[in-house]
A and B are shown apart, each in its own frame.
Chain A
Amino acid sequence: MSMRRVAVVGAGMTRFVRRALETPKELAWQAARAALESCGLGLDRVDGVCIGSAPDAFDGVHMKGEYLADGSGGWGKPTMRSFVGGGTGVFVAAQAWYHVASGLFDVVLAVAEEKMSSFYPHAQAAFLTIFDHTTERPLQPNLLWIFALEMNRYMQTYGISKRDIALVAVKNKRNAVHHPAAMLGEADITVEDVLNSEVLAWPVQRLDVSPVSDGAVAVVFASEEAASRITDRPVWVQGVGWNLDTAYWTNRDLAYPEYVERAARMAYEMAGVREPRKEIHVVEPYDPFDYKELHHLEGLLLADRGKAPELVAQGVTLRDGTMPSCPSGGLLGVGNPISAAGLMKVAELFWQLRGEAGGRQVPGRPERGLAQAWGDLMQVGTVVILGTRRPE
């Protein structure tokens, strides 16, 4: 396969905050500028821009991608916004990959932004509008429903306890203590804290859930030739995958995210990964709710079905475990400005693989990492595999 190789050469982000003063386009600019500065590029070196942002309702601007274009560096440039719900943040990296791998672009800036606080009075209410307008919205569903329904089914199918799941929230909020962008890093949080937090939609409790957030993240992608002029430590895009399941989510097995497995298999095949449990050294699965990290580790084939809680309980997924998971602190710890949170995971891999993750650095010089996001009506999986070794 003679494919054009694509490298990640820079990354930057804003803090994740509950309410930002900056406008959405100013947040995008802050992240994009930080990413360009991290690799010493001016905007004139960028050939194209990919924007990732989820519902327009949050920022409160119709055709939000157009509105965000100047802050994302898109003035006068080919600029394209994609979305696949919550999977958008990782997908925009895949989109930047195909921009560069096509041969049409040498340097592409991927920017993901969400300003959820603009939905007023409460961002959660926006989620009513993701349900089917005729067959579901009249029941006045909220986002917690689908998570709670999926979590309950997962627990019921495999006999998993709330306590098993709460360990994920504890791990991620503790990891986030070392993330300079984090909203919810808590060094001393315990499983009891999670289990005693307010019940929102049983089995979902307050501390099982990531927060409503504002923020932006940007990552710079370059062709092999361009990357060689920018950095001597490129991190390579080894694989990408994405997959969208049926919209009829009540017609699906809610205990297992098959769409994540399909996306992962697409990425593994491209990356030449045959034994993911040995070959993936650090993983950033999507964790908007704590059980989702477990669900996704299974879909990524990094744990047997229903067995991810055991890995967590054994410490395998701790930062210094044998398969560190969400060393960034994830959405539960750093925050969840939807698409920005996904791209934050890709940025985290970049920093981890370059040994630049500071207090979050996982030991053992990881050579390959995987970032994954999820979204829509428990429906989409998006996967990016980065590594220090140049693809064949």
Chain B
Amino acid sequence: MPLEPTRHVERLRTWRGTLPVANRYTYGPAAERFFRALKDDARLLGTRCGRCGITYVPGRLFCERCFDELNEWTEVGPAGTVEAVTTVHWGPDGSRLERPVLLTLVRLDGADTVVFHYLGDVAPADVRIGLRVRPAFKPPEERTGSILDIVHFAPA
């Protein structure tokens, strides 16, 4: 420990700084295909691992369990089931939100995995696990090939 610690509060200093980190991400071959289908046709595609019997949505390039390359594309949903739900009262920076946000995990029909997204057009009190929901897509001309091309999931 320092031999002569700083005891004078007024002499304590902090140095302020920020990390200048900005990134641009390509989607990779699998997500490229998933998001093109979402953007162009409002279709939701998964890839199936025959060896493990799992359908991943969004479709993936490889199976994390067995490492097989996944080439078997299959359309899923668009309806699905709420697997988990939360009402979030904090904004991205930790400040209190005036209007809380509903988030959910949706298992699309035909998928073995879940999609993390907003839940909309429903009061928090009316949401329960097991609720049947469907995606609300943005109009075709507003879709960019993003997870936000789905506005939210809403009761089916």
Inter-chain contacts of A43 with B (CB < 8 A): 65-67
Inter-chain contacts of B62 with A (CB < 8 A): 26, 29, 33, 71
Q: Closest CB-CB distance, A128 to chain B, in whole Å?
A: 7
Inter-chain contacts of A119 with B (CB < 8 A): 21-23
User: From residue 36 to 52 of chain B, which have CB atoms closer than 8 A to chain A?
Assistant: none
A20 at interface by CB-CB < 8 Å = yes
Contact A129 B29 (CB under 8 A): no
User: From residue 121 to 146 of chain A, which have CB atoms closer than 8 A to chain B?
Assistant: 121, 125-126, 128-129, 133-134, 137
| A 147-166 binary contact with B (CB < 8 Å = 1; else 0) | 00000000000000000000
B2 at interface by CB-CB < 8 Å = no
Q: Closest CB-CB distance, B53 to chain A, in whole Å?
A: 15
CB-CB nearest in chain B for A41: B67
Contact A120 B22 (CB under 8 A): yes
Inter-chain contacts of A29 with B (CB < 8 A): 61-62, 67
Inter-chain contacts of B25 with A (CB < 8 A): 23, 60, 118
Contact A22 B29 (CB under 8 A): yes
Contact B17 A133 (CB under 8 A): yes
A364 at interface by CB-CB < 8 Å = no
B24 at interface by CB-CB < 8 Å = yes
Contact B67 A20 (CB under 8 A): no
In angstroms, Cα B22 to Cα A296, docked, is 33
CB-CB nearest in chain A for B31: A23
Q: Which residues of B contact A (CB under 8 A)?
A: 15, 17, 19-32, 61-62, 64-67, 69
In angstroms, Cα B20 to Cα A169, docked, is 32
A63 at interface by CB-CB < 8 Å = no
Complex partner residue of A134 from B15, B26, B64, B65, CB under 8 angstroms: B15
Number of interface residues of A (CB under 8 A): 33
In angstroms, Cα B20 to Cα A33, docked, is 34
Q: Which residues of A contact B (CB under 8 A)?
A: 19-23, 26, 29, 32-33, 36, 42-44, 57, 59-60, 70-71, 73, 75-76, 117-121, 125-126, 128-129, 133-134, 137
Q: Closest CB-CB distance, A346 to chain B, in whole Å?
A: 21
In angstroms, Cα B31 to Cα A125, docked, is 28
Q: Closest CB-CB distance, A130 to chain B, in whole Å?
A: 11
Inter-chain contacts of A32 with B (CB < 8 A): 67
In angstroms, Cα B26 to Cα A201, docked, is 31
> Can you pick out 6 interface pairs between chain A and chain B where the beta carbons lie within 8 Å of each other?
A21-B28, A22-B29, A26-B29, A60-B21, A118-B23, A129-B19
In angstroms, Cα B26 to Cα A71, docked, is 16
Complex partner residue of B21 from A22, A26, A129, CB under 8 angstroms: A129
Inter-chain contacts of B65 with A (CB < 8 A): 43, 75-76
Complex partner residue of A21 from B15, B17, B26, CB under 8 angstroms: B26
Inter-chain contacts of B31 with A (CB < 8 A): 23
CB-CB nearest in chain B for A137: B17
In angstroms, Cα B27 to Cα A33, docked, is 20
CB-CB nearest in chain B for A61: B23
Inter-chain contacts of A33 with B (CB < 8 A): 62, 67, 69
In angstroms, Cα B67 to Cα A76, docked, is 13
Inter-chain contacts of B15 with A (CB < 8 A): 133-134
Q: Decide yes or no: A22 and B23 within 8 Å by CB, A42-B67, A75-B64, A137-B17 being known contacts.
A: no
